[in-house]
Amino acid sequence: MLKSMRPTTQLFLFALGLTAAVWILRGIGILTFLPGGIIWLLILLCIGTGVVNGLMGTRR
């Protein structure tokens, strides 16, 4: 039986997937119009949601 994921885990995975997709598409040359600051914001969003997810995982 599959256990439902916590909302913080879902948010982290969504942010991680979005960041990876944008990074890959920009590297290929499809999203070259995006500035590098957007990539940095997405990376910081992934780090932040990962920290929050980790802290929520340690709660009882």
47-55: long-range contacts (C-beta < 8 A, 24 or more apart)?
49/8, 49/11, 49/12, 49/15, 50/12, 50/16, 52/8, 52/12, 53/6, 53/8, 53/9, 53/11, 53/12
**pLDDT (0 to 100) of residue 2:** 52
**pLDDT (0 to 100) of residue 60:** 64
**pLDDT (0 to 100) of residue 3:** 74
Average pLDDT over residues 2-6: 77
Q: Dihedrals φ, ψ of 31, to 5°?
A: -110, 50
**38 vs 2, more confident:** 38
**15 vs 5, more confident:** 15
